[in-house]
Structure 1
Amino acid sequence: MRRGSVRLRLTVLFGALFLAAGATLLAITYGLVSHATNGVFVSSTNAGGGAGSAAGVAPAALPATDPLQAQATRIAGTAKAAENDALLLYSGIALGIMAVVSMALGWFAAGRALRPLRRITAAAQRISATNLHERLAVGEPDDDLRELADTIDDLFGRLDASFDTQRQFVANASHELRTPLARSRTMLEVALRDPGADAESLRATCRRVLVAGEEQERLLEALLTLARGQRGLDRRAPVDLAAVTRDVLVARGTEITASGLEMAVTLEPALLAGDRALTERGVANLIDNALRHNVAGGAVWVTVRTESGQAVLTVANTGPDVRPAEVGRLLVPFERGGTAPSPRARSQTTA
């Protein structure tokens, strides 16, 4: 048995409570019996008078100083003390026996009460990161231990979902990073293997590699931002969503002009409490997707406003339709969805 076992502590507690209750009962019983036996032998001084009455002679009261009266009082006191001592001794023996029995019964009762807890502990120790799908599944009765087991099952469920998300995130991030790295390596290998490569062609290759490196930097920054966002915000500050959106649009002015898309922008002051870097990254992702997943000669609508005291960003475009069943998947990192492009289609995302 482990040191500091709950079963041992419960057993000691049960035994101590029984001893305290038994000692209190013994003291009360002893006091009541002692009080009830006071004066039981006061009639012993009349023993001689009873014989005289039988002979027709009236009994005479003995004086208080009579030797027989004194002797009778001493005998009565001795008998009373002996009875009280015997009562105390026998009660103490009975209390000791019952204390041992109560400790044994307390040990048994504590074991029965803690058996579900030991089963919960063993199952929790068996479940690890590789089998978080298992559950304790404690059945009846519906008590505090059942509530504890259900709480632990809910915790395992959240951990299982979190681990699945992390594994999927790592797999998707690895795939996203592999593409630009493979592109840069291919361009360098082609340039090195070309026997007729001159300085200008090598410079062009280096410029393409630099562009690919910038893409990798943006991807890494996005991954770091995504990781920060999934951990939650430690500190929030006032952020003007309209100002952030304006900065993102200005930074992508050249790309917007080159795309030939029609832009309709409406920005109204809208304050929110959050992190500016994460907000800027989220706005940039929405606008980049609206520009990238669009049709030639299409349009993009960007609106920032305040509704019911909350800042709202709406980005819509004439890109592919998003089926209602796929809307939930769009909130999962690295997920893509959509059907064939349609100039009349208008998919909308609200933040």
Structure 2
Amino acid sequence: MDRRPGLSARLKLTLSYAGFLMVAGVLLLAVVWVFLLRYVPDVVDRAAPPGRAVLITGPSRSDLLDAFVPKASIALGSLLVFGLVGGWFLAGRMLTPLARITAATRVAAGGSLAHRVRLEGRKDEFRELADSFDAMLARLEAQVAEQQRFAANASHELRTPLAVTQTLLDVARKDPDRDNGELVERLHAVNARAIELTEALLLLSRADQRSFVREPVDLSLVAEEAVETLLPLAEERGVEIETLGDVAPTLGSHALLLQLGTNLLHNAIVHNLPEAGTVWITTGVGPRGAVLTVESTGEKVAPQVASTLVEPFQRGSSRVRSDHAGVGLGLAIVKSVTQAHGGTLTLDPRAGGGLSVTVQLPAAPASPPARR
């Protein structure tokens, strides 16, 4: 945005300091003048009896005025010069942190997000501004790095089905007598995986952009819907699902929160024990808001591996099943949906194997009582 040039902040502060100093000087001289007038007599003593001569030994008010005005003018002029010089110096000292913040902003605008202000000294308004700016730069740098990593991983994941498709088509073109039934089946599987990956990427982008309408949602009902959807898969794999659903109201997108619950439950079913696995789903209200916990049996997961499972396209090698490997975005979507709703996601390996995943979301505000 083009703006007309104006006075600098330093000059404005200088004029403000000098102006205030001048006002204070004028008021001080006015008080001195009033004080002097109170103790200086007039040329004629109005209280003396008529006809009596009065001897005036001190200066008159007119003499005092002639002597006071030039000295007061010199004092105000000196005060103005002192106020301008001192105000310019003080304003420069006060605005030094702002200059550093401005320089850091220009560096960041040039594309370098690694630069930090790192303002020294005790906490004040400028330090709070500098610390907030550093924190913003840190978040931006982390998000940009994550987006770059995500773009690279997404390109790699999408290139794989396209390369497989191209290979199958090349083989079919070179061998026209080959049975096309097997080719169609393999192309269908590859295409289905590409569609699944694309839909997951779109859902992840929607959660990251937070482009949804917030409405009251009960996490216990979300958990019930997820269980009804995935119950056939759980029965097929011999996984038992146990639910303990207390009311857990929150605000958010029902569709995204349902996807969150479905992803958590699907992950718990697929990466469970080969036989006699169990999944526990609990909902309720904790000190920090609504809570959804999905706990499952399974192979032991190292803490350092658990912390990386929420990253896009990250899979624990010991947890991958060949028939349901997924696209590597299940927990990444859960993390994005949780953050978009202002919540927290916690992954804790269970001592006996498996994972315990807890989602905490802000509780929905209590509705006002109905008027009678």
TMscore range, shorter length: 0.7 to 0.9
Q: Is the 8 A contact 1:242 1:270 kept in 2?
A: no
1:217 corresponds to: 195
Counterparts of 1:29 and 1:311 in 2: how far apart (Å)? 72
- Once the two structures are overlaid, the 10-residue window that deviates more, 327-336 or 80-89, is 80-89
Matched, 1:36 2:16: no
Counterparts of 2:200 and 2:246 in 1: how far apart (Å)? 24
Matched, 1:350 2:357: yes
Q: Is the 8 A contact 2:223 2:281 kept in 1?
A: yes
Give the alignment partner of residue 316 of structure 1, picking from 296, 301, 308.
296
Give the alignment partner of residue 257 of structure 2, picking from 279, 282, 292.
279
User: Deviation of residue 65 (structure 1)?
Assistant: 4.8
1:22 corresponds to: 25
Q: Closer, same or farther in 2 for the Cα pair 1:237/1:334, shift >3 Å? A: farther
Query: Helix, strand or coil: the match of 1:331?
Result: coil
1:195 corresponds to: 176
Q: Is the 8 A contact 2:272 2:354 kept in 1?
A: no
1:22-79 alpha-carbon deviations (Å, 9 max, x no partner) = 111122222222232215786xx9xxxxxxxxxxxxxxxxx9458xx59x88x999x5
1:236-275 correspondence to structure 2 within 5 Å: 236-239=215-218, 240-249=221-230, 253=232, 261-267=237-243, 269=245, 271-272=247-248, 273=250, 274-275=252-253
Matched, 1:178 2:159: yes
Q: Is the 8 A contact 2:297 2:353 kept in 1?
A: yes
User: RMSD of the TM alignment (CA)?
Assistant: 3.5
1:195-244 alpha-carbon deviations (Å, 9 max, x no partner) = 324xxx34553443233222222111111222233344641332413432
Give the residue type in structure 1 aligned to 2:112: N
Larger Rg, first or second structure (1 or 2) = 1
- Once the two structures are overlaid, the 10-residue window that deviates more, 264-273 or 212-221, is 264-273
State the aligned residue count.
314
Counterparts of 1:241 and 1:76 in 2: how far apart (Å)? 97
Counterparts of 1:340 and 1:161 in 2: how far apart (Å)? 28
User: Deviation of residue 271 (structure 1)?
Assistant: 4.8
Q: Is the 8 A contact 2:242 2:279 kept in 1?
A: yes
1:301 corresponds to: 278
Counterparts of 1:268 and 1:292 in 2: how far apart (Å)? 21
Counterparts of 1:308 and 1:94 in 2: how far apart (Å)? 71
| Structure with greater helix percent | 1
User: Deviation of residue 130 (structure 1)?
Assistant: 4.6
Q: Normalising by structure 2, report the TM-score.
A: 0.71
Q: Is the 8 A contact 1:267 1:304 kept in 2?
A: yes
Counterparts of 2:113 and 2:168 in 1: how far apart (Å)? 44
User: Deviation of residue 143 (structure 1)?
Assistant: 3.7
Counterparts of 1:143 and 1:340 in 2: how far apart (Å)? 50
Give the residue type in structure 1 aligned to 2:311: V
1:127-146 correspondence to structure 2 within 5 Å: 127-128=108-109, 130-146=111-127
Counterparts of 1:129 and 1:174 in 2: how far apart (Å)? 27
1:336 corresponds to: 315
Counterparts of 2:355 and 2:33 in 1: how far apart (Å)? 88
1:161 corresponds to: 142
Matched, 1:235 2:214: yes
1:68-109 alpha-carbon deviations (Å, 9 max, x no partner) = x59x88x999x5314313312321232123212211211121
Give the residue type in structure 1 aligned to 2:34: G
Counterparts of 2:261 and 2:204 in 1: how far apart (Å)? 13
Q: Closer, same or farther in 2 for the Cα pair 1:83/1:143, shift >3 Å? A: same
Q: Is the 8 A contact 1:270 1:311 kept in 2?
A: no
Counterparts of 1:324 and 1:148 in 2: how far apart (Å)? 37
Q: Closer, same or farther in 2 for the Cα pair 1:348/1:25, shift >3 Å? A: closer
Higher RCO (CA < 8 A, seq sep 6+):
2
**Poorly superposed stretches of 4+, deviation over 6 Å:** none
Give the residue type in structure 1 aligned to 2:96: R
Give the residue type in structure 2 aligned to 1:327: A
Q: Is the 8 A contact 1:34 1:84 kept in 2?
A: no
Q: Closer, same or farther in 2 for the Cα pair 1:190/1:237, shift >3 Å? A: farther
Query: Helix, strand or coil: the match of 2:117?
Result: coil
- Once the two structures are overlaid, the 10-residue window that deviates more, 235-244 or 307-316, is 307-316
Identity value in percent: 31
Matched, 1:113 2:91: no
Q: Is the 8 A contact 1:241 1:271 kept in 2?
A: no
User: Deviation of residue 308 (structure 1)?
Assistant: 5.0
Q: Is the 8 A contact 1:290 1:316 kept in 2?
A: yes
User: Deviation of residue 313 (structure 1)?
Assistant: 4.7
